[in-house]
């Protein structure tokens, strides 16, 4: 783990691989993780050479969720300062997932082994999710006497439907990759980590082969529509395309189609 930071980034052409890099703690998520995740995705959002991001975990697990040992002192303390820092930490945690959702570039999650608690919060804020067959998921907070507070309760119903979200959140039970595939939490299940990263990279490259402006527009419009409703979303995309439809990317895509060649996009 470089510079003792819980996250590192590796770039491959227009794809950024965001690696959870705390393998000795099974990528448990603490305050430093929240802070760096926010910094990383703000930077990727502004990087014109990055068109897609893929999140994966180093070591034995994708993530076991919140680092309970690191936060135990805050939970046990009755001091006003500790309570305020706990509130501040929760807000940072919320921002660390919201920043994935707000990032203009698509975010893909490649999950292996454990994806527990805060890991589900992270997944729900991603655009596309894949997993290995051995992956185990859980909205574990309920079993620990805690209300999940980093985004799962707000986002999971729109991913898997309200009924499945309620069962998983209220029971806190473990569920397999096969069940995650069945309910739509993930879209692909593979046997090995090698296949996982190959599949995630393949989807990322396919996305990166499209117009970056169009891709960002699709993500933005879908998010806006989910938050504001169908009619507002239709009006939003009409305005967006009225200002964006005639652009270099669109001209290049049409020209390449007519010339029967692969388009070459310049990014934003």
**Domain count along the chain:** 2
Residues 111 and 231 in one domain: no
**Pick from 208, 224, 239: which residue ends a domain?**
208
Can you give the pLDDT at residue 242? 83
- Catalytic entry in 32, 149, 167, 252: 149
Does position 85 have pLDDT exceeding 70, yes or no?
yes
User: Residue 175 sits in a domain of what CATH number?
Assistant: 3.90.226.10
Residues 6 and 121 in one domain: yes
- Catalytic entry in 66, 108, 116, 207: 66
Residues 168 and 245 in one domain: no
**Pick from 166, 190, 208: which residue ends a domain?**
208
Is 149 noted as a catalytic residue in this protein? yes
Residues 76 and 116 in one domain: yes
Does position 78 have pLDDT exceeding 70, yes or no?
no
- 69 within domain boundaries: yes
Instruction: Give 7-37 pLDDT, tens digit per residue.
Output: 999 999 999 999 999 999 999 999 899 999 9
Per-residue DSSP letter, 117: T
The order of strands in the sheet holding 52-57 is: 7-12, 15-20, 52-57, 107-111, 128-132, 188-190
- 263 within domain boundaries: no
Can you give the pLDDT at residue 4? 79
Residues 125 and 220 in one domain: no
**Pick from 172, 187, 208: which residue ends a domain?**
208
Does position 1 have pLDDT exceeding 50, yes or no?
no
- Count CB-CB contacts under 10 A for residue 240: 14
- 159 within domain boundaries: yes
Q: Which of 48-57, 106-115, 187-196, 232-241 has the lowest mean pLDDT?
A: 232-241
Residues 227 and 135 in one domain: no
Instruction: Give 151-190 pLDDT, tens digit per residue.
Output: 999 999 999 999 999 999 999 999 999 999 999 999 999 9
Residues 120 and 222 in one domain: no
The order of strands in the sheet holding 114-116 is: 114-116, 136-138, 174-176
Range(s) of the domain holding residue 231? 212-258
Encoding tokens for residue 46? 């502004």
Is 121 noted as a catalytic residue in this protein? yes
**pLDDT more than 90, % of the chain:** 77
Per-residue DSSP letter, 4: G
Residues 140 and 253 in one domain: no
Encoding tokens for residue 42? 């703000």
Greater confidence, 209 or 254?
209
Residues 151 and 223 in one domain: no
Residues 163 and 222 in one domain: no
The predicted model scores a pTM of: 0.91
Which three-class secondary structure state does DSSP give residue 17?
Answer: strand
- Catalytic entry in 58, 121, 127, 249: 121
- Catalytic entry in 21, 101, 141, 249: 141
- Catalytic entry in 30, 93, 117, 118: 118
Residues 228 and 201 in one domain: no
Residues 103 and 13 in one domain: yes
Q: Judge whether 188 and 159 are in contact, CB under 8 Å.
A: no
């Amino acid at each position: 783990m470089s510079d003792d930071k819980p996250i590192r980034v590796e770039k491959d052409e227009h794809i950024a691989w965001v690696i959870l890099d705390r393998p000795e703690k099974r990528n448990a998520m603490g305050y430093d993780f929240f802070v760096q995740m926010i910094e990383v995705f703000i930077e990727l959002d502004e990087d014109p050479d990055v068109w897609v991001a893929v999140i994966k975990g180093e070591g034995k697990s994708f993530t076991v969720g919140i680092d309970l040992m690191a936060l135990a002192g805050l939970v046990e303390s009755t001091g006003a300062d500790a309570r305020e820092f706990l509130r501040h930490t929760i807000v940072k945690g919320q921002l660390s997932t919201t920043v994935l959702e707000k990032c203009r570039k698509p975010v893909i999650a490649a999950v292996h082994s454990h994806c527990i608690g805060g890991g589900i919060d992270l997944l729900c804020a991603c655009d596309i999710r894949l997993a290995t067959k051995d992956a185990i998921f859980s909205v574990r907070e309920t079993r620990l006497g805690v209300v999940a507070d980093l985004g799962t309760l707000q986002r999971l119903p729109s991913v898997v439907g309200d009924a499945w979200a309620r069962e998983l959140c209220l029971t806190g039970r473990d569920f397999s990759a096969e069940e995650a595939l069945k309910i739509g939490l993930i879209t692909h299940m593979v046997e090995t980590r090698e296949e996982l990263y190959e599949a995630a990279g393949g989807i990322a490259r396919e996305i990166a082969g499209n117009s970056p402006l169009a891709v960002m527009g699709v993500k933005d419009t879908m998010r806006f529509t989910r938050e504001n409703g169908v009619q507002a979303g239709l009006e939003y995309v009409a305005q967006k395309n009225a200002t964006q439809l005639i652009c270099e990317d669109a001209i290049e895509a049409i020209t390449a189609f007519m010339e029967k060649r692969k388009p070459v996009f310049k990014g934003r």
